[in-house]
Amino acid sequence: MRPSLHYLQVLLPIVAAALFTTTASAQQPCLKKAWATLNQADYAGAIEASTDCIDQFAARAMREQASLEAAHEKQPPTGAVESSFDKKKIFDRWAVNDIATAYFIRGQAAERLLKRRATVQYKELAHDSYTAATHLSYGRCWDPQGWFWSPAEAAADRLAVLK
C-alpha cells in the first residue's frame, strides 16, 4: 500500500523538523547541565559541569580547531544561517562548539562569583576560561531563538571588561 500524497506532505515536514531539532540540540549532557546550573544562579555547579565537559572533550575540540585552521577553513557565520547545509556543517563541529561554550560558561560563572566574593581565584578562573574560549574561534553556540553566536568573540569582550 502506497501512502497518499497528502500523508507525505504532512509527515515529511514533521520528520525533517524532528531530525533538525535532534541535531540542533545534540549538546553533550555536561554542557546542558552547565547551562542549566548557570541559569539557576548555581555558579559553583556551572563551574563543575563546564569543567567536566572540558575535561572530557577539550582534547578533541583542540584537534578539531587545529585541523580547521590547517585547512584554512572559512570561519562559520554568526547570526541567522539560512542554508541547512551550513547549519549542519556548524552542528557537526560539536566538540569545538561545546567546548568553546563550556569555557565561556565557566568564565561567566567565575565572573559572577567574583562579583559576590572578590577573590583572585575567581578572577583567574574567569580570565583563563575566557582566554581558552578565544582560542576556539570555529566554535558556535546555537541560540534557541534561531541564530548562532561565537563564544570566542563573547569571551574576548568579557576579557576586555575583566581587566
**Does residue 101 lie within any of the structural domains?**
yes
Asked if the model's pLDDT at residue 11 lies above 80, the reply is no
- Of 122, 128, 120, whose CA–CA distance to 159 is shortest? 128
**Does residue 26 lie within any of the structural domains?**
no
**Does residue 130 lie within any of the structural domains?**
yes
**Does residue 18 lie within any of the structural domains?**
no
How does residue 127 score in pLDDT terms, banded at 50, 70 and 90?
Answer: very high
| Assigned C-alpha cell, 152 | 570566542
How does residue 26 score in pLDDT terms, banded at 50, 70 and 90?
Answer: low
The Cα 75–Cα 108 span in angstroms is 24
| Assigned C-alpha cell, 126 | 574567569
**Does residue 14 lie within any of the structural domains?**
no
Percent of the chain topping pLDDT 90: 74
Asked if the model's pLDDT at residue 10 lies above 80, the reply is no
28-62 pLDDT, tens digit per residue, is 899 999 999 999 999 999 999 999 999 999 999 99
Residue range(s) defining the domain that contains residue 68: 34-162
Q: What is the pLDDT of residue 149?
A: 97
For residues 93-111, give the mean pLDDT.
Answer: 97
Say how many domains are in the chain.
Answer: 1
56-99 pLDDT, tens digit per residue, is 999 999 999 999 999 999 999 999 998 888 999 999 999 999 99
Q: What is the pLDDT of residue 28?
A: 87
Percent of the chain topping pLDDT 70: 84
Residues 6+ apart with CB under 8 A from 11: 3
- Cell 562579583 identifies what position? 115
How does residue 12 score in pLDDT terms, banded at 50, 70 and 90?
Answer: very low
Q: Report pTM.
A: 0.82
Contact criterion met (CB below 8 Å) for 130 and 156 = yes
Contact criterion met (CB below 8 Å) for 45 and 110 = no
